[in-house]
Structure 1
Amino acid sequence: MHLTKKAKTGTVLVTVFLSGASVFCLFPILMALMNSFKTKSEIFTNILALPAHFNFDNYVRSFNKMKYFTSFFNTLAIVVIGILGIVVFSAMAGWILCRTKTRLSSFVFGLFVFSMLIPFNAVMIPLYRVAKILHFSNKIYGMGSIYVGLGVSMAIFMYHGFVKGIPYEIEESAYIDGCSKAQMFFKIVLPLLGPITATISIMNVLWMWNDFLLPLIILATPQKYTLLLSTNMLFGQYTSDWPAILSGLILTVIPVILLYALLQKNILKGVVDGALKG
């Protein structure tokens, strides 16, 4: 079927707009990548110019100053703890709150939704005090646990909407066959929540991996720093090693970019399925 002239014009305009938006979003990353290969004098001479030659010494210097492997595995451990906690707890809570039709379940679900409206800045100081009382300060597992507490509200809201699209007859059949609640959740419900789980996981991975403020508050020693905190150490009080800073930022975002590239199809499928079923 041939497109009309009006439809073709609309398609061209949308393409131009999206191309411009893509350039706008990618420009800072491209600038950081380009300048990460320059010397400091080249950066201050012309930040928009291409590097005279590709200087990989900046990456070696950043890698050593950041203690990259230590910071990477700290970040990875925090993200794994946070994602596992958010997915398991939120999936269970979203499923139970959706299937339980009582005033109490509606009230509890409303509390989770209401907590999404509270900005982080409003709870930052109380959260720090609670973390010290629970001995979560400067602990990797403590950092991951705090992310679980902060991330479950949105995840429960998304799981709750997705569960509505799952036929209840499936669970009734499993119950008749003798499944316990735990077996029903892990063997039947959780696999059906795969698309929305992929979406929730990648959203929270990006949030945790790129978060700076919360680790700055909770983590006190360089041995426990995340990648972004280690990159921040490259800033000096009176001067900053900008080539090392930019190369450090590139080293920090590479794992997330690779993860997104590998899981892109699953992420898009999860977003579409979640929008249709939720």
Structure 2
Amino acid sequence: MKKIKDPSEKTCIPYTKSTLITQILMTIVAAVFILPIFVVFNYSFKTKKELYLTNALTLPSSIQFENYKKAFEKLNLATTFTNTFLYTAIAVLVLAILCSATAWAIARSKGKFFKFCYIYFIIGILIPFQALFLPIYIIGANLNLTNTRFGIIFMYIATAISFGVFLMTSFMSTVPIELEEAARIDGCSVIRTYFTVVLPLLKPAMATLIIMQAFQIWNDYMLASLYVIKKELKTLTVVIQSLFSAQASDYTTAMAAIVISVMPIAILFLSLQKYFIKGMTVGAVKG
């Protein structure tokens, strides 16, 4: 009589040579990515003396929180952190709303105008960002947008909207139109259909857009240094760079400032990680 296998019993996966090689390679790759992070954290707790007398992997003799205190005072992180947070949060929020609504209109409309709009946004992705610096500055200066909060936020939105529309439009093709048709039959208006039916289904794509653009804007240096000169409007990245100058280098304080600047983005990614992975892999498997 054939023995029935107990479902609760664990199935042992054979440990092959290829599995061992894969695990070794993944461990090496993980170590390569973790090592710079460890070095930054390690230096942020060292004294200046230990910085020059010990190597990067040597642990500090004692944890120095003085570096973090100096980072707050020397770089005025209370102001620069607030500026960076405001620029990032407002720009990302506006991008999520505009890109999702635009992508819905493009994906559901078959007219030539909407096809032209989609191609127009695609062309915007193909143009190198560095080639736009001079036109962006000229336009901003003529419109009195330089050295203003509104100006820097507006430019972040303008330079990122092409990629946002492309990403959201690609995801919209996976959203079944039958749900929208059923909502219209039930008497939902266009606006109500968008907010109650379409928008909840776009969570993975919106999370992907939010994370990617938040990374870009939070860590941006070129546009922030080009558009903002006033000290009270500068961002974290711009003020941290001042510690790496050839005349006066304060690496331990700079590393502490880098750790502080990384924490909000790390928390954002961990919070939206589930949706981010789904948004990046959508469309990879058809079925």
TM score, norm. by length of structure 1: 0.92
- Identify the residue that residue 25 of structure 2 maps to in structure 1: 17
Of the three residues 162, 165, 169, the one matched with 2:171 is 162
Code of the aligned partner of 1:259: L
Distance in 1 separating the partners of 2:12 and 2:67 = 54
Q: CA deviation at 1:170?
A: 1.5
- Identify the residue that residue 93 of structure 2 maps to in structure 1: 84
Taking structure 1 as reference, are residues 26 and 135 closer, same or farther at Cα in structure 2, changes over 3 Å only?
A: farther
Return the structure number with greater helix share. Answer: 1
Alignment of 1:196-211 (within 5 A): 196-211=205-220
Which of structure 1's runs of 4+ aligned residues deviate more than 6 A?
none
SS in structure 2 of the partner of residue 116 of structure 1:
helix
Distance in 2 separating the partners of 1:211 and 1:139 = 17
Q: CA deviation at 1:187?
A: 2.0
Question: Tell me, which stretches of 5 or more residues in structure 1 are unaligned?
Answer: none
% identity of equivalent residues: 30
Q: Quick check: 1:178 aligned with 2:209?
A: no
Question: Tell me, which stretches of 5 or more residues in structure 2 are unaligned?
Answer: 1-10
- Identify the residue that residue 32 of structure 1 maps to in structure 2: 40
Q: CA deviation at 1:47?
A: 2.7
Q: Quick check: 1:244 aligned with 2:253?
A: yes
Q: Is the 8 A contact 1:35 1:47 kept in 2?
A: no
Of the three residues 99, 118, 130, the one matched with 1:121 is 130
Q: How many residues align?
A: 275
Code of the aligned partner of 2:103: G
Code of the aligned partner of 1:144: I
Q: Residue by residue, what CA displacement relative to the aligned partner does 1:170-228 show, whole Å, maximum 9, x if unpaired?
A: 21222233333222212221111111111111111111111111101111111111111
TM score, norm. by length of structure 2: 0.89
Q: Is the 8 A contact 1:81 1:144 kept in 2?
A: yes
Q: Is the 8 A contact 1:195 1:269 kept in 2?
A: yes
Distance in 2 separating the partners of 1:47 and 1:258 = 30
- Identify the residue that residue 6 of structure 2 maps to in structure 1: none
Taking structure 1 as reference, are residues 250 and 55 closer, same or farther at Cα in structure 2, changes over 3 Å only?
A: same
Distance in 2 separating the partners of 1:88 and 1:100 = 18
Code of the aligned partner of 1:234: L
Of the three residues 244, 250, 255, the one matched with 2:264 is 255
- Identify the residue that residue 106 of structure 2 maps to in structure 1: 97
Taking structure 1 as reference, are residues 51 and 10 closer, same or farther at Cα in structure 2, changes over 3 Å only?
A: same
Q: CA deviation at 1:87?
A: 0.8
Of the three residues 258, 262, 268, the one matched with 2:277 is 268
- Identify the residue that residue 53 of structure 1 maps to in structure 2: 62
Q: CA deviation at 1:270?
A: 2.8
Q: Is the 8 A contact 1:85 1:145 kept in 2?
A: no
Structure 1 stretch displaced more, 65-74 or 90-99:
65-74
Alpha-carbon RMSD across the aligned residues, in angstroms, is 1.9
Code of the aligned partner of 2:62: H
Distance in 1 separating the partners of 2:164 and 2:284 = 14
Distance in 2 separating the partners of 1:273 and 1:236 = 44
Q: CA deviation at 1:259?
A: 2.2
Distance in 2 separating the partners of 1:276 and 1:157 = 19
